[in-house]
């Protein structure tokens, strides 16, 4: 049997190592297409040029191309159906993907089948001086949350408590939305959209009723029409703010709540018509009202969760992505990893801005990784960097480092991270608090 050629959009060294551990990887040859710096740590996304360059590279390969995959959010997830269609490799349809990624269209589709599990919502144009009035006319009143129609992570998301909050959010949205709206609109031009969706392009935003509670992510896939949720990851926030503290796997939600979320996931993904691809769905469980809310659907595995699945289940859930792209049923193990629980921690500072004057040395990082076996630490900043130059940050903090850890129980996991965090030494100048 010949080796299978699998092209990975934005392939970097960390993920090359993860992919090498997948089941069947001895029969796979992984190749990069589109450099990682073009799709990561940047806010400039010339999708048309990237697609043309990738298509040229792939067609000149000279051997069979068995699969094209990605593990990142916008623009990679949105580009894949277009690229796969051009090269004739398996992928879900562009329209089914956009029913997840176009936040307004996604809510309309969700409302058709699980309307009791989504917040009230409306779309608005941030450049419309009467936007706040129109949101009220749609029956949505403060407090509410606003975000772009196509967002990436928590970027440009704001909680609105007052007209002043809205004015500040709209100013920021108008300044930054073009970096996503222009490339996203290019993708929309290639899709068959309903009239009421086509009029709400990437330059628009969503306003939604505030929802909250215990946040989690259901990871799943669809293979030949069969929707399969296979793991739930908890998302723990810092107290009193929207910034994430860490992701924890497996979930500690009550079993009945996990089962209901899995049922909702099967229902909505089947209704969308999403097929032969991985996804994840983010939910809240409001413990006080015992109510489940669907937050959003993402058309990929969560890259942040790859190491968690490897630690607990035995391999990264990129196994699912690769198997599906090869047209085969995912061979994902369960609870065969080295640890019983795992977490990805976000080491953050809550400044408006600052200049980084010191970061932990490579030797210090290596010592910590040896002290806490199984730990992986990746710095997101370097000395001399202005925090505001970091991409893909939320609106309230900056993540200086990511820390993946495993442990035998939840208490040991948090204790180990607390000990490690005390030994991560950063320093700053020109701090704006």
Per-residue pLDDT, averaged over 379-399, amounts to 87
Residue 345: enclosing H or E segment and its boundaries?
strand 341-349
* pLDDT value at residue 152: 66
Tens digit of each residue's pLDDT (9 = 90 or more) over 178-210: 888 989 999 999 999 999 999 999 999 999 999
Q: What percent of the chain has pLDDT over 70?
A: 99
Q: In the structure, what pLDDT confidence band is assigned to residue 41 with cuts at 50, 70 and 90?
A: low
Q: In what order do the strands lie in the sheet with 28-33?
A: 28-33, 4-9, 67-69
Measured CA to CA in angstroms, residue 286 lies from 89, 211, 248, 264 at distances of 41, 8, 18, 16
State the DSSP code for 371. Answer: H
Quick one: average pLDDT of 117-133?
96
Confidence (pTM): 0.92
Question: Tens of pLDDT along 257-304?
Answer: 999 999 999 999 999 999 999 999 999 999 999 999 999 999 999 999
Mean pLDDT, rounded, of the chain: 94
Is the pLDDT at 42 greater than 70? The verdict is no
Mention every residue, 6+ apart, whose C-beta is less than 8 A from residue 33. Answer: 7, 8, 9, 11, 54, 57, 58, 68
| CATH code reported for the domain at 341-433 | 3.90.1170
- Does an H or E element contain 55, and which? helix 47-59
- Among the residue ranges 101-105, 342-346, 348-352, the one predicted with the least confidence is 348-352
Cα dihedral 253/255/256/259 (nearest 10): 100
CA neighbours within 13 Å on the CB side: how many for 168? 11
Mean pLDDT value of segment 93-99: 97
Domain ranges of the chain: 4-96, 120-209, 341-433
Q: Which pLDDT score, from 0 to 100, does residue 153 have? A: 59
CATH: 3.60.150.10, 3.90.1150.10, 3.30.1490.20, 3.20.10.10. Which one for 120-209?
3.30.1490.20
pLDDT one-digit tens code per residue, 202-220: 999 999 999 999 999 999 9
Class in CATH terms, 4-96 = alpha beta
Asked whether residue 391 carries a pLDDT value surpassing 80, the answer given is no
Residue 420 is predicted with a pLDDT of: 97
Express each pLDDT in 218-245 by its tens digit: 999 999 999 999 999 999 998 877 789 9
For 199, what's the count of Cα atoms within 13 Å in the CB-facing half-sphere?
A: 4
pLDDT confidence tier of residue 126, bands split at 50, 70 and 90: very high
pLDDT for the residue numbered 351 = 87
Please state, in angstroms and rounded to a whole number, the distance separating the CA atoms of residues 36 and 34.
6
- What pLDDT does 242 receive? 77
Q: Is the pLDDT of residue 394 over 80?
A: no
Question: Which pLDDT belongs to residue 240?
Answer: 77
pLDDT (0 to 100) of residue 132: 96
């Amino acid at each position: 049997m010949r080796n299978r050629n699998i092209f990975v959009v934005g392939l970097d060294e960390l993920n090359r190592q993860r992919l090498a551990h997948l089941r069947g990887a001895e029969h796979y040859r992984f190749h990069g297409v589109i450099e990682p710096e073009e799709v990561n740590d940047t806010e400039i996304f010339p999708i048309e040029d990237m697609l043309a360059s990738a298509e040229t590279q792939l067609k000149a390969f000279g051997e069979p191309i068995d699969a094209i995959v990605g593990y990142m959010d916008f623009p990679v997830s949105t580009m894949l159906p277009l690229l796969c269609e051009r090269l004739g490799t398996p992928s879900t349809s562009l329209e089914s993907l956009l029913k997840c990624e176009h936040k307004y269209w996604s809510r309309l589709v969700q409302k058709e089948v699980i309307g009791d599990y989504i917040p009230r919502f409306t779309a608005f144009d941030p450049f419309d001086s009467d936007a706040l009035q129109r949101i009220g006319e749609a029956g949505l009143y403060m407090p509410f949350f606003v975000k772009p129609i196509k967002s990436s992570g928590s970027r440009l998301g704001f909680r609105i408590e007052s007209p002043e909050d809205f004015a500040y959010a709209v100013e920021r949205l108008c300044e930054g939305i073009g970096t996503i709206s222009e490339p996203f609109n290019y993708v929309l031009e290639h899709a068959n959209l309903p009239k009421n969706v086509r009029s709400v392009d990437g330059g628009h935003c969503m306003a939604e009723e505030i929802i909250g509670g215990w946040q989690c992510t259901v990871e799943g896939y669809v293979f030949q029409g069969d929707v399969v949720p296979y793991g739930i990851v908890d998302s723990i926030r810092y107290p009193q703010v929207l910034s994430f503290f860490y992701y924890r796997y497996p979930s500690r939600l009550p079993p009945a709540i996990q089962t209901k979320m899995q049922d909702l996931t099967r229902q909505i993904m089947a209704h969308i018509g999403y097929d032969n691809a991985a996804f994840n769905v983010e939910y809240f469980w409001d413990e006080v009202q015992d109510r489940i809310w669907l937050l959003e659907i993402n058309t990929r595995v969560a890259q942040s969760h790859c190491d968690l699945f490897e630690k607990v289940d035995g391999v990264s859930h990129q196994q699912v992505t690769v198997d599906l792209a090869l047209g085969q049923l995912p061979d994902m193990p369960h609870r065969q990893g080295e640890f019983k629980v795992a977490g990805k921690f976000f080491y953050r500072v809550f400044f408006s801005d600052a200049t980084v004057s010191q970061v932990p040395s490579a030797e210090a990082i290596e010592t910590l990784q040896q002290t806490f076996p199984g730990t992986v630490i990746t710095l997101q900043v370097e000395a001399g960097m202005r925090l505001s130059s970091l991409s893909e940050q939320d609106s309230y903090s900056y993540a200086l480092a990511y820390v993946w850890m495993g442990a035998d129980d939840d208490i040991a996991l948090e204790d180990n991270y607390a000990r490690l965090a005390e030994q991560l030494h950063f320093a700053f100048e020109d701090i704006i608090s």
